[in-house]
Structure 1
Amino acid sequence: MTHSTDPTASTPARSQQLFERAQRVIPGGVNSPVRAFRAVGGTPRFIARAQGAHLWDADGQRYIDYIGSWGPMILGHGHPAALEAVQKAALEGFSFGAPTEREVELAEEILRHVPSMEMVRLVSSGTEAGMSAIRLARGATGRSVIVKFNGCYHGHADSLLVKAGSGLATFGHATSAGVPPEVVQHTLVLEYNDVAQLDEAFALHGADIACVIMEPIAGNMNFVRASVPFMQRARELCTQHGALLILDEVMTGFRVALGGAQSLYAQQIPGFAPDLTVLGKVIGGGMPLAAFGGPRAVMEQLAPLGPVYQAGTLSGNPVATACGLATLREISRPGFYDRLAARTRAWMQGLEDAARAEGVPLVTDCEGGMFGFFLLPELPQNYPQVLATDGPRFNRLFHGLLARGVYIAPALYEAGFVSSAHTEDDIAQSVAAAREVFRELSKA
């Protein structure tokens, strides 16, 4: 049987029908832009169900899932422990608008594994957690300027939808319609992994900087690590100037290691810890749940104790906290991350070997159950280098894999995810599919 890398070659009929129907009532036919397949072309697959490491679309076609709902499904889909917890919680009630014991248990479980956090506030989404952490940093410091990095995504809050200007230490310009210039005038955008720019920014604006927010492993420019010197310098400068260092671990938290990416940097930088941490995805196990937290003295600036206001009707939702708590208890079992990392490395090594055999340039990186790959000769260190990736070739790779039942992210700027449900056979099938696609790409 032959498979094409052409996005229009084999569109499942039911997905096509649903997409046409969706576009009449939902902008772009999707409720989050990357799902629309605009970056890769073709028709998005409408998913009907999932189990373990697999998805089935509306036409009944099965795929090996390397998206994992963009990170939360570290146990795979329908894990018995998570399913049982959710069913039991749902029978007790969907939402109360009042505190529950399970919120306390989940908070305690999070803090047990992330020692930089002494208190945590639960919310419903990563965007909500990120914007609340920044508001808290501004309130705690009495300053306005925030520093973010080109290529790092922290949700769609207005002040974060910015890109870098043309010069060093240049304040950003909005990248979304509907965001007034005055909203982003206090957002300073720098290049990721550029220590010199970081030094310059603090030299020019240090007294006004409330916080530096970064992804320790940037998952929205595929998979790009913050170098140890860059992370260390960010910590030093924040400490020296009285700014707060916020690590956005929505993707990496409980995904790359039990203690998140910050635990990996703490092994290489003596005494390293962020001031605030933003979490999401894995802590909800697939349910809408996120959090932000840090030292008691900072967190007590939040209402009702302090002047920084934050609230949410569904924060600490009892069904979501049940799913999150069950997930965290499963992943904290001895040996979980060793097995997960080994499976992820096997997938990346197989992908590299398959590309090399056909003379296709490709490099990979991974940590825990998170991975990325680039159609480049060496790993990029920042967003401009990521942009050098061969986009049209990636699109053909995506559709070639999809046609063979392997579902990776439909955009070259997104990281991928492996779950504990992926088997050796899943990896072997994925590598075999990649080998076929690379063979086609080498002839194109």
Structure 2
Amino acid sequence: MPPHLISATAAATAAAAPSNCGGSTLQMAKGRTDPPSPAVDEELAKRAGAVFPGLKWTRTPMAALTQLGAPAFYERGYGARLLGADGREFVDLMCGFGCNFLGYAHPSVERAVNAQATVGACLSGPTERSVELAEELVSFFPHADWALMAKNGSDTTSIARLICRAHTKKRVLLVEGGAYHGTPAPWHEGMPGVLPEDHAHQINYVFNDVESLHKAAEAAGDDLAGIFAGGFSYPLAAPAQMPTKEFAQACRDLADRTGALLVLDDIRCTLRIDARGSWAPLGVQPDISVHCKSIANGHPFSAMVGKDICKDAAAKIFSTGTYWVSPAPMAAALEVLRIVKESDALERMHKAGDDICNGFRALAQKHGVAAQVTGPHTMPIITFDADMAEAGNTRDRPRSVAFATKVIDEGVLIHPTHNFFLSAAHDARDVEQVLKAFDAGLAAVKEQFAEC
């Protein structure tokens, strides 16, 4: 029996113990008296299937993990760990797909949220938190003269599209092929309900390929409104790429030459590469950057900051949302930014990422498995050379699936084809368990596949 199969009593004891998130006592879900168990997880999935269309009760990438042995539902999170509704505890390397930055149930973040919620979670208008947070964002990011706030990454990336077009009075946006830079997503093409017109006035380029960028700009002609680029390139089921200085500067120069706006899509990367913005180490600043996931440690909040050059356009476009003035998530974001400035949270996260990525490389060499870890160590993706050689134009990754299946069985939650996320809560004990699981996962790959 894998060591992460624990009883409800053991789970409560583990949750109450001191940890990077401060620890707390396990609470059963309201309305339930039975402890987490496989039967509970199965019953929840059955109930969900009766009232949701398809698998719309979960994140799309998470649906695949249940086929690899992960729970369908989760009871709670604490620090860098999750307790599944089936009673299993996991070291979580998905971090809520990026939103767990300081640790699940981080005490000071939750205190700030609860203090605000007790006097109003969402009022008929904004509170002082809005002004405080906008001031903090403008102070925090070097390229920021103004800020806007919303809820999801899709909110702010889509608003950035509007601002580009309002500012330039032009239509075409350059985006990385296959990347998500606001609605509609490129992989929506051809799906039910999606029209060809939904992807009009959008031209793809290849990340880190300056010639491809220039050809896309040439195709846009005199109608170029904006250039969107991610903090790094993270295609599904493929190696990640960090931006080169040459490519980032080419984006900046193209925007300056044409009058288009350069938008840094930091939704996935906020705080995990560089606190000042993912391209700050390259010395390249965008006109607009968009942020989400880690910035409020799991509370629903996203932000956009920009330069004065496009402030007027930002003021004129129409954008609104009922919950965009909610002060409770803003209180969370204020506390996260305070902790980033006043603690070693970033250093702890980077150390855990370095230890895990370097440890995997050593283990792969030990097992004689050709595998790569790419991307920033705080957001790495693992790929197997033989998978990439055999895949062609498909996303079939049998070795990645075998690896992830075993790792999940060993009590570490990962995705076979999506990048992982590290948090400031991942400590030495977590890293040790991760590397033991990776060791077992690589052994499983070596056993199952002749070509490794």
Alignment match of 2:363 (pick from 344, 354, 360) = 354
Shift of 1:404: 0.7
* Aligned equivalent of 2:24: none
Q: Distance in 1 between matches of 2:138 and 2:90?
A: 36
Shift of 1:36: 1.0
Is 1:217 paired with 2:221? no
* Aligned equivalent of 1:167: none
* Aligned equivalent of 1:227: 244
Matched position secondary structure for 1:367:
coil
Shift of 1:366: 4.6
Q: Distance in 2 between matches of 1:385 and 1:230?
A: 28
Change (3 A) 1:352 1:39: farther
Change (3 A) 1:43 1:79: closer
User: What is the TM-score when the length of structure 1 is the normalising length?
Assistant: 0.86
Of the structure 1 ranges 371-380 and 118-127, higher mean CA displacement relative to structure 2 is found in: 371-380
Q: Contact 2:234–2:375 at 8 Å: present in 1 too? A: no
Identity, in percent, stands at: 27
* Aligned equivalent of 2:34: none
Alignment match of 1:289 (pick from 301, 323, 343) = 301
| Structure 1 residues 31-110: aligned runs within 5 Å | 31-37=58-64, 41=68, 44-110=71-137
Alignment match of 1:162 (pick from 167, 178, 186) = 186
* Aligned equivalent of 1:404: 410
Q: Distance in 2 between matches of 1:226 and 1:379?
A: 21
Instruction: Structure 2: state its 5+ residue gaps.
Output: 4-36
Shift of 1:39: 9.4
Shift of 1:389: 7.4
Instruction: Structure 1: state its 5+ residue gaps.
Output: 4-10, 164-172, 267-271
| Structure 1 residues 4-403: aligned runs within 5 Å | 12-29=38-55, 30-37=57-64, 41=68, 44-155=71-182, 157-158=183-184, 161-162=185-186, 174-221=189-236, 223-266=240-283, 272-303=284-315, 306=316, 308-367=317-376, 369-376=378-385, 391-403=397-409
User: What is the TM-score when the length of structure 2 is the normalising length?
Assistant: 0.85
Shift of 1:220: 4.8
Shift of 1:297: 3.4
Shift of 1:44: 4.3
* Aligned equivalent of 1:428: 432
Q: Distance in 1 between matches of 2:256 and 2:96?
A: 36
CA RMSD of aligned residues (A): 2.6
Q: Contact 1:289–1:316 at 8 Å: present in 2 too? A: no
Alignment coverage as a number of residue pairs: 412
Instruction: Give per-residue Cα distances to partners, 1:180-236, cap 9 Å, x unaligned.
Output: 112212111222222211111222323111011121213453633222222221111
Of the structure 1 ranges 39-48 and 319-328, higher mean CA displacement relative to structure 2 is found in: 39-48
Instruction: Give per-residue Cα distances to partners, 1:265-288, cap 9 Å, x unaligned.
Output: 21xxxxx21111111112222111
Q: Contact 1:238–1:244 at 8 Å: present in 2 too? A: yes
Change (3 A) 1:116 1:387: farther
